[in-house]
Amino acid sequence: MEEAQPRQPIMALSEQEARRISAGEVVERPVNVVKELVENALDAGATQVTVELEDGGRQLIRVTDNGHGIPASELPLAVLPHHTSKIRSLDDVFGLSSLGFRGEALASIAAVSRLRIASHHADDELGTALSLDPAGLSSTEPVNLQGGTEVEVRELFHNTPARLKFLRSRQSESAQVGRMLVSYAIAWPEVRWELLSAGRSLLSTDGSGDRRQVLSDLIEPGFRHELHELDYEFPPSAVHGLISDPTYHRNNRSRQWFFINRRPVTNRLLYKAVDDAMREFLSSGKYPAGAFFLELPPEEIDVNVHPMKLEVSFSQPQAVYTLLSTAVRRGMNRAAGERQGSLRSGLSSVVRQLDAGMPGRPVDSIERRRPNLSLADAARQYAEVSVDASVTPARLEPEDDFAFVPPPIDVIPERRVQLAQDDADAGFADAPQLSLVGQVGNSYLVLNSGERLYVVDQHAAHERILFEKIYEAVDPARASAITRQSLLFPMVVSLDDTESEDMQPLLEALRRVGFNAEAGAGGSLVISEVPQFLRNRINPALMADALEEFSSRGISDLLEDRIKELAASISCRAAIKARMRLTESEQLALLRLLLESWSSLSCPHGRPTIIEIGSSELEKMFLR
């Protein structure tokens, strides 16, 4: 949609149209001027745009482009109010297919500065320069220009001292221009951008069209983290873009850029959509880097709220919020899935091999018996193994010191596993050959692929798995499939006074995630049924902890959000703890679960579950 339209002649809007459109555009600072000039350059199909500032734009703003130029005969029209080559009627205004559309930018700029436009259109032999001053005096002269346009704005606000007074320092004004041009550089990677301030280059891109590259460079020099593709279509709307892997984050939104129909915008709703979607992947207060391009039907957007600012508003804010947060969530889940994919096939081979080698364990592994093993089944398998584990070690060592207890070599032997050629779920030619090294510090499982080490956080991984399973219940279509184990001895959970105040929403949230509970005496909670797959992982102390944490969270009043928080609290408590020695069969069971859990990259509180240590990182540690 962003292809420049074939050029139309510059004409006056009808008076009636002009009156309807006019939004009382005001030029307040250099950045506003630059924006208008840059948009004109892009509208002219430029592939190279250079912005030069002197004294932060106070002395000079010069924008040079290699676009189609303006014919000499039309040059005087360009600076007249309501003269444009871009729209013919109001309907076109909302089409927004070109960036500038009011036909009055040049006129407003001319009113507060000394403006000179030099341009050369292919139909003319020579280029022409038009100079004018605020008094309306103009002069033209032929210039030697080979295509394109050069607009010079000198002495901005020299005739409006009030506005001049409000300008900030040179650095501050040029920094604003720089920030804005960064957005344009990300939106238009095929354009070579250059910003010079007092002769110093503040920004320059190569115009290769590689948005990923441009974005990486702009996030920070030497940025090495992955950028995941966002690609979500919901006709007539869509979201595209790139977002950084959760391994990268910042403490503010300074590396997030939002665009609607390729115009840079700022909008709190859009921030919130990204923040909320990332809550599963990053802890709060941490922000990913990313470029978010929304395509929305023009009638959904009101850009006239603040014509010179980037603010927009929406006629259906909720829909826009859902669109963006869904796009981000999907993108992150897919990325997590892809990342898991290669690891997953490696893991499945470990599990199979371990199954085969486990004494007293049928070679007929669960994968073979039930190809579509679900999370819950895996969870059940976990329960089985943990109950029936034949080797149950006594836990004697103090739980809090001795970070590294070497695994006994004859209990957890290293097993190298060659990925079978016909491995149905491999799907990745370069899947790592993984060997289970053992448990470190009673908290982490270590896997070796030859090339890299994978360290699985047993608590975070299990928590993530349980969370997904519990949270499934939020989907009403699935909730009915949750089977509940009734308890012989109902669990009585005593709650603080604060928690017992309004028990109803809590009871409802519990019901939705597969518990049956009612209010008991003295503000207590009596649980009589628990989700069947959690039956061996729940006890009253644990529920009390989970509910206390849940009530202290209270981020949102929405039931659906509360359910999610409840799921997070319960899964955190019910998960295998850190500093808990796992027998080989328990390690195996956890790996099996991990394997089945598609997006187990980060736990609900936003910590990662698996980290990779490549040989290059090891080399670094050994100072090689």
Q: Which residues bind Mg ion (CB under 5 A)?
A: 40, 100, 105
Tokens 């928590």 belong to 463
Which CB, 63 or 243, lies closer to ligand ADP? Answer: 63
Which position among 144, 372, 418, 504 is part of the footprint of other proteins (CB under 8 A)?
372
Binding-site partner at residue 542 among Mg ion, ligand ADP, other proteins, none, CB < 5 to 8 Å by type: other proteins
Q: Would you say 515 and 470 are in contact if contact means Cβ atoms under 8 Å apart?
A: no
Binding-site partner at residue 65 among ligand ADP, other proteins, Mg ion, none, CB < 5 to 8 Å by type: ligand ADP
CB of 507 to other proteins, least distance (A): 15
User: Tokens for 481?
Assistant: 């499939």
- 65 contributes a contact to ligand ADP by CB under 6 A: yes
CB of 477 to ligand ADP, least distance (A): 50
Cα end-to-end span (Å), the chain: 50
104: three-class secondary structure by DSSP: coil
Which residues, numbered 579-608, are part of the site for other proteins (CB under 8 A)?
Answer: 580, 582-583, 586
C-alpha closest to that of 109 among 75, 86, 133? 133
Binding-site partner at residue 396 among ligand ADP, other proteins, Mg ion, none, CB < 5 to 8 Å by type: other proteins
The stretch near other proteins (CB under 8 A) out of 60-68, 316-324, 433-441, 538-546 is 538-546
- 402 contributes a contact to other proteins by CB under 8 A: yes
Binding-site partner at residue 582 among other proteins, Mg ion, ligand ADP, none, CB < 5 to 8 Å by type: other proteins
What span, in angstroms and rounded, lies between the C-alpha atoms of 592 and 586?
A: 10
- 480 contributes a contact to other proteins by CB under 8 A: yes
Q: Would you say 84 and 10 are in contact if contact means Cβ atoms under 8 Å apart?
A: yes
Which CB, 116 or 452, lies closer to Mg ion? Answer: 116
> Which helix (H) or strand (E) covers residue 21, if one does?
helix 15-21
- 370 contributes a contact to other proteins by CB under 8 A: yes
Which CB, 10 or 215, lies closer to Mg ion? Answer: 10
**CA torsion through residues 337, 340, 344, 345, sign:** positive
Tell me the residue nearest to ligand ADP as measured from the CB. Answer: 100
Which CB, 116 or 469, lies closer to other proteins? Answer: 469
Binding-site partner at residue 529 among Mg ion, other proteins, ligand ADP, none, CB < 5 to 8 Å by type: other proteins
Which residues, numbered 109-148, are part of the site for other proteins (CB under 8 A)?
Answer: none
449: three-class secondary structure by DSSP: coil
What span, in angstroms and rounded, lies between the C-alpha atoms of 302 and 376?
A: 47
List alpha helices for 402-539, DSSP H.
Answer: 458-471, 476-479, 497-500, 503-512
CB of 375 to other proteins, least distance (A): 8
CB of 65 to ligand ADP, least distance (A): 5
- 168 contributes a contact to other proteins by CB under 8 A: no
Tokens 């966002």 belong to 230
User: Tokens for 102?
Assistant: 């009011």
Before 236, cis peptide (omega within 30)?
yes
Measured CA distances, 602 to 337, 338, 459, 545 (Å):
11, 14, 11, 22
CB of 385 to other proteins, least distance (A): 9
What span, in angstroms and rounded, lies between the C-alpha atoms of 180 and 34?
A: 9
Which CB, 78 or 347, lies closer to ligand ADP? Answer: 78
What span, in angstroms and rounded, lies between the C-alpha atoms of 591 and 358?
A: 14
Q: Are strands 290-295 and 256-260 parallel, antiparallel or unpaired?
A: parallel
Which position among 310, 516, 518, 613 is part of the footprint of other proteins (CB under 8 A)?
516
Which residues, numbered 303-322, are part of the site for ligand ADP (CB under 6 A)?
Answer: none
- 101 contributes a contact to ligand ADP by CB under 6 A: yes
Phi, psi of 243 (to 5 degrees): -140, 145
CB of 478 to other proteins, least distance (A): 7
Which CB, 213 or 516, lies closer to other proteins? Answer: 516
* CA-derived radius of gyration, the chain: 31
- 481 contributes a contact to other proteins by CB under 8 A: yes
Tokens 């000499």 belong to 72
Cross-strand bridge partners of residue 118: 129, 150
Binding-site partner at residue 327 among other proteins, Mg ion, ligand ADP, none, CB < 5 to 8 Å by type: none
Measured CA distances, 89 to 4, 11, 262, 290 (Å):
18, 12, 22, 36
List alpha helices for 554-605, DSSP H.
Answer: 559-574, 584-596
Residues forming contacts to ligand ADP in the complex (CB under 6 A) are 10, 36, 40-41, 44, 65, 67-70, 78, 83-86, 100-107, 149
Residues forming contacts to other proteins in the complex (CB under 8 A) are 369-370, 372-378, 380, 386-389, 392-394, 396-398, 402, 405, 408, 411, 469, 472, 478-489, 516, 529, 532-533, 535-539, 541-542, 574, 576-577, 580, 582-583, 586
